[in-house]
């Protein structure tokens, strides 16, 4: 097709394809594996599965969470373990731009992260931002080599539970979460 898309029926014009919009099957497979890596990060943090979280980083990987923590991923995982306390979190992943360069890749991952913090009153802290990631393929697995958190906006307010969810099964921050029983085969494959 010489770099052209099919004719647009409404205008009769062809539009040019950008060369970076063409992905090989290997690139698509790598992008799917990296998207799964990013989703497993959210799950590991939200379920406090620190063993899973640590397994997502390459040896010597760096995690930069701004002034709160910057250093090797092993230290980041320990910092999370000690700092999260009774906080309930939900890390939601949105747009992802990932480009693969052989056995390495880079990605910009948009997120909205919700935190319910018990401090006398319950505080809801929400931050919209991005992770600027470098990935490396090691022993057949895509892992984080460097992860940097950027916050684009944040909001903090008093929170109270909604009466609309009173009869709905509640998630937990541990292996007591309903997903471990309901999705047993999948949860065993995550780490």
57-68: pLDDT as tens digits: 999 999 999 999
* CATH code reported for the domain at 23-161+171-189: 3.10.450.50
Q: What is the pLDDT of residue 20?
A: 55
**Alpha carbons 33 and 175: distance in angstroms, whole number:** 24
**Alpha carbons 38 and 98: distance in angstroms, whole number:** 11
Distances (CA, A) of 14 to 11, 21, 42, 184: 9, 16, 41, 49
Q: Which residues, in sequence order, are CB contacts of 150 under 8 Å at separation 6+?
A: 129, 130, 131, 132
Distances (CA, A) of 185 to 171, 182, 188: 18, 9, 5
**Alpha carbons 111 and 42: distance in angstroms, whole number:** 10
Question: Which helix (H) or strand (E) covers residue 128, if one does?
Answer: strand 121-138
Supply 82's token pair.
Answer: 């000690």
Q: What is the pLDDT of residue 163?
A: 80
**Alpha carbons 36 and 167: distance in angstroms, whole number:** 31
Q: What is the pLDDT of residue 109?
A: 98
**Low-confidence stretches of the chain (pLDDT beneath 50):** 1-18
- Are 95 and 101 a contacting pair, CB within 8 Å? no
């Amino acid at each position: 097709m010489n770099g052209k898309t099919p004719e647009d029926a409404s205008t009769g014009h062809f539009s040019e394809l950008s060369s970076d919009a063409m992905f090989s099957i290997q690139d698509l497979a790598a992008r799917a594996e990296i998207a799964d890596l990013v989703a497993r990060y959210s799950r590991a943090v939200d379920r406090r599965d620190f063993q899973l979280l640590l397994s997502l980083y390459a040896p010597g990987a760096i995690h930069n969470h701004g002034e709160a923590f910057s250093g090797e991923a092993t230290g980041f995982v320990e910092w999370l373990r000690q700092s999260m306390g009774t906080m309930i979190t939900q890390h939601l992943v949105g747009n992802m731009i990932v480009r693969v360069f052989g056995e390495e890749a880079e990605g910009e991952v948009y997120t909205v992260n919700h935190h319910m913090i018990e401090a006398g009153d319950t505080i809801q802290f929400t931050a919209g931002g991005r992770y600027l990631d470098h990935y490396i393929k090691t022993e057949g697995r895509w892992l984080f080599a460097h992860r940097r958190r950027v916050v684009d906006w944040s909001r903090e307010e008093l929170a109270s539970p909604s009466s609309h969810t009173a009869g709905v099964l509640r998630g937990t921050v541990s292996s007591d979460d309903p997903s471990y029983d309901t999705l047993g085969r999948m949860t065993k494959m995550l780490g």
